[in-house]
Amino acid sequence: FHSHLSHTKSSTMKTVAAVSIILPSVLAFAPSATFVRQTTSLSVGSDPNVYLGGNDWQSDTEKMGSTDTGDYYPEGYDPNQVAFTEGMGGSQAMLGGNRDGPELPGMENLGADALMVGGIEQATDIPAGMDFTPDPFPDGSYEMSVAASSEGAELPIYVNSMCMTFEDYFAAFSSDSHPSFSVSPSTGRLDRRGGEPTELIVFCAPGGQAGTFEGDLVLNLPEDGSKMCYKITAKAY
């Protein structure tokens, strides 16, 4: 009996020792309480303070639109003055339609008493002392015929500017040109490069004198710091 009891105790102790060794290993794979997700149930269906159908608030006017309010409306200004048909014709309708509409406060008389200050002014006279010496190589040459006994003849010249902007010009014949030559207009503004050519009229009045007359037409462009020159030859018969 004692031998059997001793064998039983020995087996029990071995079992306890084995469990003691295995248990820490098993617990190492058990989920920690820190990472356990807690599930909570919330019921709002019976709460009278919770609205599940959205917000039913409306503005005082009970219609769609912004509830923002401007700083102020000027006295006497009616924001509803424009008729509901305004703008129905589109932007093209404004080309031949009525452009009248409600004036903005303070702009009812805009432009009626406007005062122009500055702006672009075009010279009408050649500045005194301007030099009209031609370049050695002219930009073009022209010939014309005129009866010596006539009052004179005209020759149109078309000048194409090479400047990037509009340029004022001053035109005249050089001092060594034949006195029968003149040009009109003597002042004006050239279109920019690629624009419309400028027409100048050269006039030759022989005054009864026959022969071959020569002149150098010079166009000074002071703003560009350049000039354009044309050789004119007139044969009076």
Q: Is the pLDDT of residue 7 over 60?
A: no
Residue with tokens 């019921």: 43
The pTM assigned to this predicted structure is 0.49
Mean pLDDT of the chain: 75
pLDDT at position 5: 47
The enclosing H or E element of 23 equals helix 2-28
Beta pairing, strands 226-236 & 140-146 = parallel
Distance CA 25, CA 21 (A): 7
List pLDDT tens digits, range 113-158: 655 554 455 566 888 889 999 999 999 999 999 999 999 999 999 9
List pLDDT tens digits, range 19-43: 555 555 555 555 555 555 666 665 6
What are the structure tokens assigned to 54, written together?
């959205």
